[in-house]
Structure 1
Amino acid sequence: MTEMRSEEHPTPVNYPVELYEVIRVIRKVPLLLEEHLNRLYQSARLADVHHLPGPVALEEKVVSFLRNSEVTEGNIRLSLTVQSEEDSPEPVLTFIPHRYPKEKEYEDGVWLRTLMAQRELPNAKIYRPVLRQRTDEIIAEGKYYEVLLVNHEGYITEGSRSNVFFVKGNRLYTPPMQQVLPGITRKVILRLCIENDILISEEPVKLSELDTFDAAFISGTSVKVLPVSRVDDHQFDHVNMFVRRIARLYDEQIASYIRNKIMP
């Protein structure tokens, strides 16, 4: 069973609604916290959810949670479950299991599988148990690292928990923001491309045209920039220089962010 939506007539979101963000923590620093909170409020607006705590209160809640925890590295889940239109939800914070790619996966690239499915309100980060269960089952089989969603028109949109980029020649391609969850890592990558004169196009990528691309990678909170060696039966250059350059630029950006946050 998959979750489908029509571009012209989106399916309304029914209560309860669970809004959430997964934030990576390094040296007790919640990476790109400001961007995560901005997306949380954007998700709330798209889902027509009101009465959330303010951004200052949420940021203080996250910082206090980390200060009082003995854990210095990992992923935290910030969630707000809204039961009704007038509900004022309390934020819930918890460390959650994570799986960061191994060094060999960064070196050799990973395998992905496609699935005909798409999310309702793709720009909103809302927990959807049916689709998550299906993609988790595929990943649990052990052969594929991630699942790419393909909409009813045959276009690749995003991963179940990541965004996806493709390389053709000297240009990057990624599905447009209207079709995907606007990932925080994706946003940073787009900015880094502009700052470093890397050509990039936001346009639909058709599944049937995968053979026209040279390389691919996925991006996300846990994976950062992870090269892809195969999607279904399509093989890609996992040592592509553009992919490696973007991974290096992103790592440098994160290192700079951490330095600025822990300086006295």
Structure 2
Amino acid sequence: MRKAIRNGIIINESEASLPLSLKSVQYSYSVYESVKLKNGQFVHLDEHLKRLRLSSSGVGMNLSYTDNEITSWLLDLKAEENLFNETFRILVLGENPAWVYITHTENFVYPESYYTEGVALSTYRGERFLPQLKTSNLLLSYMALKDAEKKNAFEALLVDGQGFITEGTRSNFYAIKNNRVYTAPDEKVLSGVTRTGVMKALSDMGIPLIFESVKLEELSSYSSLFITATSMRAIPVKSVDGVNVRTEDIKTVQKLSELLGEWE
């Protein structure tokens, strides 16, 4: 039977349940992180724990457990289940003190065609609450993804009230024009591990990164679009809302994805 962690104790995953009477459950007062285990090693664990602590403090949670304690729990669960390639989800529930649950699933493996041909995206109007924090307030993302599924799209891009694309429901969004990459400012999106990696990779490639939001109605003026996330590295975009977009810089996106993979 698959195992999980509850406040440092290994339990059966079926026991990793939350009472519906808890206010923190009723109000989705929780934050989380997804940490990738690749070839037996945790990928950018320190950075993920740093963001977990930033998110928890940002919503006023009392996370009394240290990073070392949470790391030891991850290692315990990895050893207990003899895991090698997996994604761990750390959920911090806003009780006093906070509760910590850790579960795990197999790593996503995306088809090679996503990287060679690109993926279809849709758009959805809405702005995340506290976008800089990784909270469990995911209703907007859920609705946007359900809408994307109906349109046979891989991911949904969120568009704010001024018509600017901020980010995907589970990814960051970038656009290329004149050998420059554009993305929304940090204060408008969930920044962190992969986004930092993108900055480093683009710097190594000699490509400037401009923190400037892209307007939906101006997508046709960009020579390529792509999205990034821990699970997917960098994936090019082939269409948005059923309209084909330019893919002139797909080799650049593929090189970026390759670098992100090497640094895992």
Instruction: Give the secondary-structure state (helix, strand or coil) at the position aligned to 1:68.
Output: helix
The residue number in structure 1 matching 2:251 is: 241
Unaligned runs of 5+ in 1: 1-13, 255-264
- The structure-2 alpha-carbon separation of the partners of 1:98 and 1:160, relative to structure 1 and needing over 3 Å to count, comes to farther
Equivalent in 215, 240, 263 of residue 224 of structure 2: 215
Spell out the pairing of 1:18-29 with structure 2 (5 A cutoff).
Answer: 18-29=30-41
Cα displacement (A) at 1:213: 0.4
Q: Is the 8 A contact 2:174 2:181 kept in 1?
A: yes
Cα displacement (A) at 1:98: 5.4
Cα displacement (A) at 1:243: 1.1
Q: Is the 8 A contact 2:123 2:240 kept in 1?
A: yes
Q: Is the 8 A contact 1:107 1:239 kept in 2?
A: no
Instruction: Give the secondary-structure state (helix, strand or coil) at the position aligned to 2:31.
Output: strand
The residue number in structure 2 matching 1:137 is: 146
Cα displacement (A) at 1:196: 3.6
Unaligned runs of 5+ in 2: 1-25
Q: Is the 8 A contact 1:15 1:82 kept in 2?
A: no
Cα displacement (A) at 1:54: 1.3
Equivalent in 83, 88, 93 of residue 76 of structure 1: 88
Post-superposition CA distance 1:180-203 (Å, at most 9, x none): 001421111112222342211111
Cα displacement (A) at 1:142: 6.5
- The structure-2 alpha-carbon separation of the partners of 1:108 and 1:187, relative to structure 1 and needing over 3 Å to count, comes to same
- The structure-2 alpha-carbon separation of the partners of 1:176 and 1:24, relative to structure 1 and needing over 3 Å to count, comes to same
* Percent identity of paired positions between Structure 1 and Structure 2: 27
TM-score (norm 1): 0.84
After superposition, the CA RMSD in angstroms is 1.9
Distance in 1, matches of 2:213 and 2:41, equals 35
Relative contact order, CA 8 A, sep 6+: which one is greater?
1
TM-score (norm 2): 0.84
Q: Is the 8 A contact 1:106 1:227 kept in 2?
A: yes
Distance in 2, matches of 1:143 and 1:52, equals 43
Post-superposition CA distance 1:201-253 (Å, at most 9, x none): 11111111111101011100111111111112241207623212211221222
Post-superposition CA distance 1:120-146 (Å, at most 9, x none): 000000012422331231243371000
Distance in 2, matches of 1:155 and 1:118, equals 10
**Worse-matched range after superposition: 239-248 or 196-205:** 239-248
Q: Is the 8 A contact 1:108 1:238 kept in 2?
A: no
